[in-house]
């Protein structure tokens, strides 16, 4: 279906074709789903929230709940305050969450609705809370919206006078529930007392029980968000998705943070483990063993990785992690793009590539998959690594593809399986090796088709 993509690249200032991102409220909604008994609320028209919910549901294969202020012409002209007041009353009456997390949309941002005032003027039932964040979609991406919503929770709830609890707060980045489970498992092995915020595990991968639970067991509790103010430190994983909320917590409550990359691959996981382990640096043998097994796999399969070129695309933190890991595998990232705007991505990706002596890779933020396809038409790669939206390029150019990141809409099971930590890296290495070896089997002569590699 993309056979007509032209080879000649024309620089485009404003137009994006097949953008490598989605809109801020999608990230805000996902952040809110990581809070226990929280109803995400979209302050805008019903069409927006239908899209956002559908998008998340398709990735996680789980219902993504959210309510809407249901703007029509009247609210669009005179403001959405009355709609929000009615919505908040109805949501607490009918759905009974502990907290409503409101995010704005393009429409409510454009007319200038003042959510702060609306919420301050509301009379809420006892023990019920409403927070908000501004998420205009003409700025940033779903990653920006995710960071903004986390900052919103902190602004409203984190308690600057909370008693010191000595805990480590971990902001896990825009990752799947399976990744959060893996991060928590590693923290437990390291013997840490911690709060993970947000925590979509147990919400967006809740077990089938035969009974629909609007609010599954998982999620960071409101008390835990309040207690963030009393934590000893924050480990913020993913500079684009979590540095801003970590900064907001430090400014409000004085909790220092360490900003780390997503722990994808060997070096980034080492960095996470050493930061989490604290000053004495002791690491349990189980994690040492996992690391050793990962290195063993990487060495065994190295002939299949070595010098293979690839394109990496998706969210900035994930792409930086995947790029670093494929370099560790001996591969050569040729194209590294994200749809999220910002020069910081280009600088950080260049720094990762420089560490491995790669100077000729094309790196771009605010990029789209149309242009990536054009680059590939001019100079092909051996593998695509990224979101489902690369599959048309894979088909048009007959290139093997491994799906990773967000969204993965056309496969199952990915949201349960980690790509972070040493175990996640083993899974990634297996996926990449198998994709390359499947291609080799498909293309080789019959006499070279062997069952032993
Ligand atoms: S109008 Fe804005 S908020 Fe609504 S779906 Fe479109 S980009 Fe997202």
- pLDDT per residue as tens digits for the range 304-348: 999 999 999 999 999 999 999 999 999 999 999 999 999 999 999
| pLDDT band, residue 18 (cuts 50/70/90) | very high
Looking at residue 148, its pLDDT comes to: 98
Same domain, 260 and 121: no
The angle formed by the CA atoms of residues 94, 96 and 102, to the nearest 5 degrees, is: 95
Q: Say if 6 falls within a structural domain.
A: no
Q: Rounded distance, CA 101 to CA 80, Å?
A: 16
Same domain, 141 and 174: no
Looking at residue 13, its pLDDT comes to: 83
Per cent of the chain over pLDDT 70 is 100
Q: Is the CB of 25 under 6 A from ligand 1?
A: yes
Same domain, 74 and 205: no
Same domain, 328 and 405: yes
Question: From the alpha carbon of 51, which atom of ligand 1 is closest?
Answer: 5
- Given 221, 252, 285, the domain boundary residue is 285
Minimum CA distance residue for ligand 1 atom 1: 106
Looking at residue 450, its pLDDT comes to: 83
Q: Say if 52 falls within a structural domain.
A: yes
Q: Say if 4 falls within a structural domain.
A: no
Looking at residue 280, its pLDDT comes to: 79
Same domain, 277 and 339: no
Q: Is the CB of 48 under 6 A from ligand 1?
A: yes
Burial of 210 (0-12, 13-18, 19+ CB in 10 A): exposed
Query: In this structure, what are the phi and psi dihedrals at residue 308, rounded to the nearest 5 degrees?
Result: -70, 135
Minimum CA distance residue for ligand 1 atom 6: 48
Same domain, 336 and 407: yes
pLDDT reading at 451 higher than 90: no
pLDDT reading at 418 higher than 80: yes
What's the pLDDT tens digit per position in 103-140? 999 999 999 999 999 999 999 998 999 999 999 999 99
Q: Is the CB of 137 under 6 A from ligand 1?
A: yes
Same domain, 303 and 404: yes
Same domain, 307 and 423: yes
Q: Say if 402 falls within a structural domain.
A: yes
| pLDDT band, residue 3 (cuts 50/70/90) | confident
Domain containing residue 120: CATH number: 3.40.50.1980
Find the 67 Cα to ligand 1 centroid distance in Å: 15
Tell me the best of 22, 44, 143 to mutate to test the pocket of ligand 1, counting ligand atoms within 8 Å of each CB and taking the most: 44
Tell me the best of 54, 106, 111 to mutate to test the pocket of ligand 1, counting ligand atoms within 8 Å of each CB and taking the most: 106
Tell me the best of 48, 55, 56 to mutate to test the pocket of ligand 1, counting ligand atoms within 8 Å of each CB and taking the most: 48
Q: Is the CB of 51 under 6 A from ligand 1?
A: yes
Q: Say if 121 falls within a structural domain.
A: yes
Least confident of 2-11, 17-26, 230-239, 393-402: 2-11
Q: Is the CB of 28 under 6 A from ligand 1?
A: no
Q: Is this model's pTM higher than 0.85 or not?
A: yes
Average pLDDT, the chain: 96
Find the 44 Cα to ligand 1 centroid distance in Å: 9
- Given 285, 306, 338, the domain boundary residue is 285
Looking at residue 452, its pLDDT comes to: 80
Count, residues in the chain: 453
- Given 157, 184, 204, the domain boundary residue is 157
Q: Say if 442 falls within a structural domain.
A: yes
Find the 22 Cα to ligand 1 centroid distance in Å: 9
Minimum CA distance residue for ligand 1 atom 2: 106
Same domain, 82 and 146: yes
> In the chain, how many domains are there?
3
What's the pLDDT tens digit per position in 250-290? 999 999 999 999 999 999 999 999 999 977 789 999 999 99
Looking at residue 449, its pLDDT comes to: 87
What's the pLDDT tens digit per position in 47-97? 999 999 999 999 999 999 999 999 999 999 999 999 999 999 999 999 999
Per cent of the chain over pLDDT 90 is 95
3-state SS string for the chain:
CCCCCCCCCCCCCCCCCCECCCCHHHHHHHHHHCECCEEEEEECCHHHHHHHHHHHHHHHCCCCCCEECCCCHHHHHHCCHHHHHHHHHHHHHHCCCCEEEEEECHHHHHCCCCHHHHHHCCCCCCCCEEEEECCCCCCCCHHHHHHHHHHHHHHHHCCCCCCCCCCEEEECCCCCHHHHHHHHHHHHHCCCCEEECCCCCCCCCCCCCCCCCCCCCCCECHHHHHHHHHCCEEEEECHHHHHHHHHHHHHHHCCCEEEECCCCCHHHHHHHHHHHHCCCCCCCHHHHHHHHHHHHHHHHCHHHHCCCEEEEEECHHHHHHHHHHHHHCCCEEEEEEECCCCHHHHHHHHHHHHHCCCCCCEEECCCEHHHHHHHHHHCCCCEEEECHHHHHHHHHHCCCEEECCCCCCCCCCHHHCCCCHHHHHHHHHHHHHHHHHHHHHHHCCHHHCCCCC
Find the 66 Cα to ligand 1 centroid distance in Å: 15
Q: Which domain holds residue 235?
A: 168-285
Find the 162 Cα to ligand 1 centroid distance in Å: 37
Minimum CA distance residue for ligand 1 atom 3: 105
Tell me the best of 69, 137, 143, 145 to mutate to test the pocket of ligand 1, counting ligand atoms within 8 Å of each CB and taking the most: 137
Same domain, 35 and 62: yes
pLDDT reading at 419 higher than 90: yes
What's the pLDDT tens digit per position in 148-203? 999 999 999 999 999 999 999 999 999 999 999 999 999 999 999 999 999 999 99
Find the 48 Cα to ligand 1 centroid distance in Å: 5
| pLDDT band, residue 453 (cuts 50/70/90) | confident
Same domain, 177 and 275: yes
Q: Say if 426 falls within a structural domain.
A: yes
Q: Say if 71 falls within a structural domain.
A: yes
Same domain, 187 and 221: yes
Find the 104 Cα to ligand 1 centroid distance in Å: 10
Q: Is the CB of 105 under 6 A from ligand 1?
A: yes
Q: Rounded distance, CA 423 to CA 22, Å?
A: 29
Under 8 Å between Cβ of 157 and 226 = yes
Which tokens go with 103?
A: 């995010």
Minimum CA distance residue for ligand 1 atom 5: 48
């Amino acid at each position: 279906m993309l056979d007509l993509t032209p080879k000649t690249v024309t620089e485009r200032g404003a137009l994006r074709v097949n953008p490598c991102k989605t809109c801020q409220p999608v990230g805000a909604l996902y952040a809110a789903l990581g809070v226990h008994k929280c109803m995400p609320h979209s302050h805008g028209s019903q069409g927006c929230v239908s899209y956002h919910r559908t998008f998340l549901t398709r990735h996680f294969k789980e219902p993504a709940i959210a309510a809407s202020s249901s703007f029509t012409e009247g609210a669009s002209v005179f403001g959405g305050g009355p709609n929000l007041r009615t919505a908040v009353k109805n949501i607490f009456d009918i759905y009974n969450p502990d907290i409503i997390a409101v995010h704005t949309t393009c429409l409510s941002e454009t007319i200038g609705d003042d959510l702060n005032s609306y919420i301050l003027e509301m009379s809420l039932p006892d023990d019920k809370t409403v927070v908000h964040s501004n998420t205009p979609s003409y700025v940033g991406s779903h990653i920006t919206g995710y960071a903004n919503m986390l900052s919103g929770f902190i602004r409203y709830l984190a308690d600057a006078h909370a008693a010191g609890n000595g805990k480590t707060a971990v902001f896990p980045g825009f990752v799947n529930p399976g990744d959060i489970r893996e991060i928590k498992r590693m923290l437990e092995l390291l013997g840490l007392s911690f709060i993970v915020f947000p925590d979509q595990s147990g919400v967006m991968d809740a077990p089938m029980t035969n009974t629909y639970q609007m609010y599954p067991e998982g999620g960071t509790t409101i008390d835990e968000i309040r207690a963030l103010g009393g934590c000893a430190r924050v480990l913020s994983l993913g500079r684009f998705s979590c540095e801003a909320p970590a900064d907001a917590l430090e400014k409000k409550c004085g909790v220092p943070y360490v900003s780390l990359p997503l722990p994808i691959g060997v070096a980034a996981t080492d960095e996470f483990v050493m930061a989490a382990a604290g000053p004495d640096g002791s690491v349990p043998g189980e994690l040492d063993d996992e690391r050793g097994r990962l290195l063993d796999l990487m060495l065994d399969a190295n002939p299949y990785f070595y010098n293979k070129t690839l394109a990496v695309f998706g969210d900035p933190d994930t792409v930086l992690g995947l790029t670093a890991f494929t370099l560790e595998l001996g591969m050569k990232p040729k194209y590294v793009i994200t749809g999220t705007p910002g020069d910081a991505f280009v600088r950080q990706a260049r720094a990762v590539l420089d560490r491995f002596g790669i100077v000729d890779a094309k790196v771009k933020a605010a990029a789209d998959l149309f242009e990536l396809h054009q680059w590939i038409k001019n100079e092909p790669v051996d593998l695509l690594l990224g979101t489902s939206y690369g599959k048309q390029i894979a088909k048009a150019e007959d290139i093997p593809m491994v799906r990773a990141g967000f969204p993965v809409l056309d496969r199952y099971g990915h949201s349960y399986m980690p790509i972070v930590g040493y175990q996640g890296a083993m899974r990634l290495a297996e996926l990449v090796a198998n994709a390359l070896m499947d291609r080799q089997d498909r293309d080789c002569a019959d006499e070279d088709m062997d069952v032993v590699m």
